[in-house]
Amino acid sequence: MNRNVTIGLIQMDCVLGDVPANVATASDKIRQAAAKGAQIVCLPELCTTGYRPELLENRLWELTEPVPGPTTDIFCRLAKELGIYIILPMNEKGASTGLIHNAAVFIDKGGQVQGVFRKVHAYATERYYFTDGNHYPVFETEFGKVGVMICYDMGFPEVARILTLQGAEVIFAPSAWRQEDEDIWDINIAARALENRLFVAAVNRVGREEDVVMHGKSKIVSTRGKTLAEAARFEEDILVATVDLAELIQGRRETPYLKDRKPAGYGLITQTY
């Protein structure tokens, strides 16, 4: 039985601190992806404001919004109009004044916010600006269950494994990955897919924010970690490809990592130093 779903990844540049410009660009590219048949579309990390919080300084809080809020309202209307799911990475206001999450909002095709994933592992100077998330929601679609992890979260196998154990069949990874770590980008995506025998769809930024250059090369990989489709390097691109979620069944028969787990012996993983 085919359980096909067509994925769209929006590989775009962002204007630092210009939310209206970034929303307009993202909206146009989402329309293009939908016109190519995309049913679930994912944007890159912090695409509404640009990536580097230290460059925004005092403007960061002003540019951060609640969820739901004005920007999510725009994308909710777009999702409903096009009949697609949208994963919108953005700065989200926390429960208390001054707290900010590096978040990804999951919007269903009815135009409703289904939930939010908040980046768990802050990279480098991000920790001075963002409050870490500690929940791993999985989102329901008619195709199957979807998980999200953000950029540096890919380097921690625990994140993808928790999402998998909660039923995720495809994990999206919106990112702003720098060119110096392109080799790690390739390895992390493939490894997380293979060790959980699911699909990973990772979308990367392009463009420069001062000394940080993001290389793109968004990709969708199979349950064996094989690249099925890949976007251009250093250029804006819209990647659209179809995967069959039924392939998870055969993959998990071939290498039953989930069945063969021995969690009773994994206590060391949860100890802190």
| Lookup: tokens for 165 | 């154990």
Helix (H, G, I), strand (E, B) or coil at 19: helix
Spot the catalytic one: 29, 109, 119, 219. Answer: 119
Could you confirm whether 262 is annotated as catalytic?
A: no
Could you confirm whether 36 is annotated as catalytic?
A: no
Give the closest residue to 172 by CA, choosing from 83, 68, 61, 39: 39
Could you confirm whether 65 is annotated as catalytic?
A: no
Give the closest residue to 9 by CA, choosing from 175, 121, 149: 175
Angle (CA) 129-21-213 rounded to 5° is 55
Spot the catalytic one: 45, 65, 169, 209. Answer: 45
Spot the catalytic one: 151, 169, 209, 217. Answer: 151
How many angstroms separate the CA atoms of 254 and 164, rounded? 17
Q: Which residues contact 175 (CB under 8 A, 6 or more apart)?
A: 44, 45, 150, 151, 154, 185, 202, 203, 204, 205
- Give me the DSSP letters along 149-190: --GGGGG-HHHHHHHHHTT-SEEEEEE--BGGGHHHHHHHHH
Beta bridge partners of 240: 8
**Residues noted as catalytic:** 45, 119, 151
